[in-house]
Amino acid sequence: MEKIEAKKIFHAAEVEIKDQGLVRHYHFHEQQTVDLQASPMELFLFCVRQGHLALQASFIPHPIELSSGEAIFLAFPRDAWQLKIIGEASAEFFTVRMEVSQLHLLMNPSFNTQSLKEESTFNMRDLMRLIPVNPSLMMCFDQLIHHKLNPPFSALFEKAKFLEIFSLLMEAAFGTPGSVCPVAMSPAIESKLSKVRKHIMDNIDKIPDLDQLAHQYELPRNTLKEGYKFLYGSSLHQFHTDYKMESAMQLLSSGEMLVKEIAFHIGYQNPSHFIAAFKKKFGFTPKQFIKQSAG
């Protein structure tokens, strides 16, 4: 059961996908604390859209810090466990609650769930890492939570969207193409690269300057360039371009800004250049996307 200690937590909605898991959306209006209880056979995913969370799990001595654009799986197969979520005002995040056996089945459809008690076919420690996520994944959560389809098609859509979310998460967590980083890596360097990534996300309207970022975050230029690509699977400039376009798609989907306002927001001086870049990326114009979304 879930115990909510504060009163002003806003739950946009929740969706339960049969035989898969429970997806929830949280939006805090002020600093809040939520207590969760989990069995040995349960795991949780936390995916932060905006703001900052501190996760204090009973089986981990120190809190886990999560910021916007980050996700993590947590599980403790040996025993029941507790988790305290502390979120700042305006924090917005999604959770997925599912059985460990379902994770195994998603990774391997022929998996025998009875073998969970006999052997560990998937090391949960390998899964408990910070996962960088992008606006495309956040939009999948939105589509899952806020769709307006009616039964029986709603169940089919929800299962398909859940599988899309899971696939994107696994690709982000384990899809790094190289097996060996060409530069020396350490936890301190990974932390600095994470800060660089957040800097790019917070300054979406500015083209990243490799030399300036290397100086600002005290990283050798080659370590920044090669280490970033190894850690996140794309170059620094490619990430910036993709993040801009995906953020634009999310803003278009929300309907809160006009096309030209979005163009200026993400750094385009000329809206027509934005429209051309958007079509090149997705295969349709912003107005075509709005029309498709409305339909």
CA dist., res. 255 & res. 81, Å (int) = 41
29, pLDDT greater than 50? yes
Instruction: Give tens-digit pLDDT for 224-277.
Output: 999 998 888 889 999 999 999 999 998 998 888 999 999 999 999 999 999 999
C-beta separation of 107 from 122 below 8 A? yes
Write down the pLDDT at residue 175.
Answer: 67
Per DSSP, what are the bridge partners of residue 70?
132
Strand spans (E) along 88-153: 92-99, 131-132
CA dist., res. 157 & res. 140, Å (int) = 11
Write down the pLDDT at residue 103.
Answer: 80
β-strands 131-132, 42-50 pairing: unpaired
207, pLDDT greater than 90? yes
5, pLDDT greater than 80? no
Instruction: Give tens-digit pLDDT for 139-170.
Output: 999 999 988 888 889 999 999 999 999 988 88
pLDDT band at residue 19 under the 50/70/90 scheme: confident
C-beta separation of 130 from 193 below 8 A? no
Write down the pLDDT at residue 10.
Answer: 57
Write down the pLDDT at residue 170.
Answer: 84
| DSSP per-residue string spanning 29-72 | SS-EEEEEEE-TTEEEEEEEEESEEEEEETTSSSPEEEETTEEE
Count CB-CB contacts under 10 A for residue 266. Answer: 20
The first and second tokens of residue 76, run together, are: 């403790």
Domain-wise residue ranges, the chain: 2-135
Which option is the CATH number for 2-135: 2.60.120.10, 3.40.50.970, 3.40.50.300, 3.30.2350.10? 2.60.120.10
Range list of H helices, 24-99: none
Write down the pLDDT at residue 120.
Answer: 45
Sign of the Cα pseudo-torsion (263, 161, 54, 187, in order) = negative
SS3 category, 28? strand
C-beta separation of 31 from 78 below 8 A? no
Instruction: Give tens-digit pLDDT for 90-129.
Output: 899 999 999 988 887 777 665 454 544 444 445 566 677 8
Write down the pLDDT at residue 118.
Answer: 43
